[in-house]
Amino acid sequence: MCGIVGVSHHKEASKIAFLGLYALQHRGEEAAGIVSYDGHDTHVLKKSGLAVDNFDEEGIRRLTGHMAIAHTRYSTTGSSNTKNIQPILVSHRRKPIAVAHNGNLTNTEELYSKLENEGSIFQTSMDSEIFVHLLAKTPNGDMAQWLIKAFSQVQGAYSLVLLLEDYLIGARDPQGFRPLCLGKLGDGYILASEGCAFDMMKAEFVREIAPGEIVIIKGNKVESVYLPEASKKANAFCVFENIYFARPDSRIFNDNIYQVRKRLGQQLAIEHPAKADFVMGIPDSGNYAALGYAQQLGLPFEMAIVRNHYIGRTFIQPTQFLREFRVRVKLNPIRDVIKGKKVVVIEDSIVRGTTSRSRIDEIREAGAKEIHMRISCPPIISPCFYGIDFPSKGELIAHNKTVKEIADFIKVDSLKFLSLEGMLSVMKEKGSFCSACFTGKYPTQIPKNTDKLKLEI
């Protein structure tokens, strides 16, 4: 999971791109980068860490130009090192090509071997670099046909932005796993993973890029072309975007995330009510489902846990040590609210179970009399191959344990998950979601080698 931004036809493109990265920081905290183009030269700044730490005013000022693309990284292919920081920038036939990619390809090894056999020399261990080599090897007479021929060779999940001199390109895979949105700012256009980025930029939300659509932007003109596969494949929007990843003030998949999470909580209350003194959510993503749950049952909703906002998102940290550290310092229960009370704790999901166990321990230590945990999605039993970093079944607690065993592990008085049917029933785009992590039924052929580091030297 990553955040991507593209800016066209704006005199301060890099500043606008930075604002977009700041709004999309929740999509990746490992590294951030910006590439700009001034009509003659490209300028690049990429560093490990948060966007707000990477780019100061002087650094952004050096990123001159009216075009820019940007990326904030959450690694799902390739290690966390400097060579893998995006955007990727190369020169081909004395012209710059820069790419920023969100998603995971499923035919990576096949394409990697083919391209190497044809003479390509890879500089990173990311599947994202494949796009650059495909573009370089595809005849590029007509712009639209060039892009279609290159992207048609790729399988899996991708939303991406490309900077090709004065062209800003946006593309989304034919099944639309990852979101990509189009906005307008002044005379130019913006591309971003989520609509919340446009709010930060004071840009107008225009629409979502359709699955299989390629938008070609030059100046204030937008042309759309479509991959042939777009009309042949069913949509497979990632439902986990709605449950956890996207910001609640974003609109993706033709719906508002805040409203989706409230509806998930309401449906959870219908399926699994509980008797308690109040309902509390695990910040931040659990709060919205908790609000819907409480409203459905007429129970009080309490903000009984305080989040330390200087600590990043726990789930997307690349190592178990960092995840556990952030669990300990990220959230602090309010003892005076919890002590002696029967509480319903709403969480968006349980992945490995260790984070939930630590949180329940802290709530129990704060004096809760009873803890009834409710999860606003079904048990996650299968790995994701489309851009979420839980690739091993062994990491997923629900793959090996029953709900009762999970409840015993995290030490709650009761534990219930939202049903698959209930979850999908509250989505506006009926029948358009990938739920493979809950069912094991994948909408594409999955790769034989699922190792995140499979392209490492």
Strands 370-375 and 342-347 turn out to be: parallel
Report in angstroms the alpha-carbon separations of 366 from 290, 337, 341, 345: 19, 9, 10, 13
Instruction: Give dist(CA 103, CA 236) in Å, integer.
Output: 13
Enzyme catalytic residues: 2
d(C-alpha 157, C-alpha 172), whole Å: 8
197, 12 Cβ separation under 8 angstroms: no
- Measured over the CA atoms of residue 324, residue 409, residue 425 and residue 445, the dihedral's sign is positive
- 3 state SS of 434: strand
- Which letter does DSSP use for residue 294 in this model? H
254 conformational bin, left if phi > 0, alpha if psi -120 to 50, beta if neither = left
Q: How far apart are CA 110 and CA 162, in angstroms?
A: 23
Q: How many CB atoms lie within 10 A of CB 109?
A: 16
Q: CA-based angle 399:403:404, to the nearest 5? A: 130
Across-strand partners of 433?
A: 237
Is-contact 338 311, C-beta < 8 A? no
